[in-house]
Amino acid sequence: MRDEERDVDPNDGRDETVNERMDRNWNELLQEMRVTQTGTQILSGFLLTIAFQPTFGGLPGFDKAIYLFLVLAATVTTALALAPVHLHRSLFRRHSKPALVQTGHLLLRAALLGLALVMTGAVLLIFDVATHDRSLALTAAVAVAALLGALGMLPRILRMDRVQARLERAAR
Model confidence pLDDT, tens digit, residues 53-62: 999 999 999 8
Q: What angle do CA 133, 114, 79 make, to 5 degrees?
A: 130
The answer, yes or no, to whether residue 106 has pLDDT greater than 80, is yes
Asked if residue 128 lies in contact with residue 66, where contact means CB atoms within 8 angstroms, the answer is yes
DSSP state of 159: H
pLDDT grade for 2, boundaries at 50, 70 and 90: low
| DSSP-assigned letter for residue 58 | G
Q: Which residues make Cβ contacts (< 8 Å) with residue 129, sequence separation at least 6?
A: 59, 63
